[in-house]
């Protein structure tokens, strides 16, 4: 306390100046409309700026939850798309009766591990069998195909990435509906390019044409995969088409695991058909 009194007495002139100056400013602002309005505007600007910085900081802290909420909302909206519905279309005596039933639903997951520079790349997500995920499910992001579920534990799953030598996805050209197999072109390990194979060479393909899922594999039809960069012949009958992928695998954070309500029925029927013809 003694040191405090010594400090105040030593700088008493400065403190008196601050006191009288503050009183003078208060009197001027109180008794003059223009100065009062200016002071209020200035204080509002300062306080508003402080509030804005606080709000920006709060939003930054909440980004994780915001991204999670948006991903869950996107999953719900995807399940409502026409491509996610199974159409019960009945034609009888020239009368059409169409009923829509949800075929595809989506489970949101966060990527917790990822590789893009190997010949065979994998991802790990923070969802597993407890959330209904099983081996063989397709995985997409908001920009396109990610891969196929490979192994599952109660709380996690590994994904065989599209950037894997053994991954093949049925894809088609949006303009002609000609379909083939999309594989990763492992040359130079470019994570933004793939090759669409087995397209007949009589099909007219233009650079920039969209490449989408055909609906013949694990993925609903019409999901955008990328766009044609260039074409080249593979033998005498087919084209190899270089595709620029929509997905940037280096920045993946959230993915959607596709749950096909009719997958088991389809696999059983196809298995019975193969067994019958053997």
In a domain, 238, yes or no: yes
Which of the residues in the chain have pLDDT under 70?
Answer: 1-17, 20-21, 23-101, 186-188, 234-235, 278
Is residue 269 assigned to a domain?
A: no
> Looking at the 3D structure of the chain, how many domains does it have?
1
Residue 241: left if φ>0, alpha if ψ -120 to 50, beta else—which one? beta
Residue 7 lies in a domain: no
**pLDDT at position 172:** 94
pLDDT of 184 reads 92
Please indicate, yes or no, if residue 97 is contained in any of the structural domains: no
Q: Assess if residue 5 is contained within a domain.
A: no
Contact 133, 251 (CB under 8 A): no
Q: What confidence score (pLDDT) does residue 98 get? A: 45
Helix (H) or strand (E) holding 224: strand 224-234
Residue 79 lies in a domain: no
Residue 231: inside a domain: yes
Q: Does any domain span residue 272?
A: no
Domain range enclosing 148: 106-263
Q: Report d(CA 191, CA 116) in Å as an integer.
A: 6
| Neighbour tally for 138: CB within 10 Å | 24
Domain of residue 245, CATH code: 2.40.10.340
């Amino acid at each position: 306390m003694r040191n405090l009194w010594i400090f105040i007495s030593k700088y008493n002139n400065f403190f008196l100046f601050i006191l009288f100056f503050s009183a003078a400013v208060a009197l001027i602002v109180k008794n003059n409309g223009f100065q009062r309005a200016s002071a209020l505007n200035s204080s509002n600007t300062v306080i508003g700026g402080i509030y804005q910085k606080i709000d920006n900081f709060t939003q930054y802290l909440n980004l994780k939850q915001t991204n999670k909420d948006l991903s869950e909302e996107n999953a719900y909206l995807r399940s409502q798309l026409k491509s996610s519905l199974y159409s019960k279309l009945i034609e009888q005596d020239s009368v059409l009766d169409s009923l829509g039933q949800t075929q595809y639903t989506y489970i949101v997951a966060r990527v917790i591990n990822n590789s893009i520079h190997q010949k065979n790349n994998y991802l790990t997500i923070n969802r597993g069998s407890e959330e209904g995920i099983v081996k063989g499910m397709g995985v997409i992001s908001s920009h396109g195909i990610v891969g196929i579920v490979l192994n599952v534990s109660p709380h996690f799953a590994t994904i065989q990435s599209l950037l894997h030598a053994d991954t093949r996805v049925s894809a088609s050209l949006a303009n002609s509906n000609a379909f083939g197999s999309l594989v990763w072109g492992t040359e130079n390990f470019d994570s933004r390019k793939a090759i669409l194979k087995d397209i007949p060479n009589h099909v007219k393909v233009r650079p920039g044409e969209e490449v989408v899922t055909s609906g013949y594999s694990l993925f609903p039809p019409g999901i955008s995969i990328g766009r044609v960069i260039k074409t080249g012949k593979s033998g005498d009958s087919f084209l190899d088409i270089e595709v620029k992928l929509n997905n940037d695998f280096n920045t993946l954070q959230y993915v959607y695991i596709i749950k096909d309500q009719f997958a088991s029925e389809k696999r059983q029927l196809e298995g019975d058909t193969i067994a019958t013809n053997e």
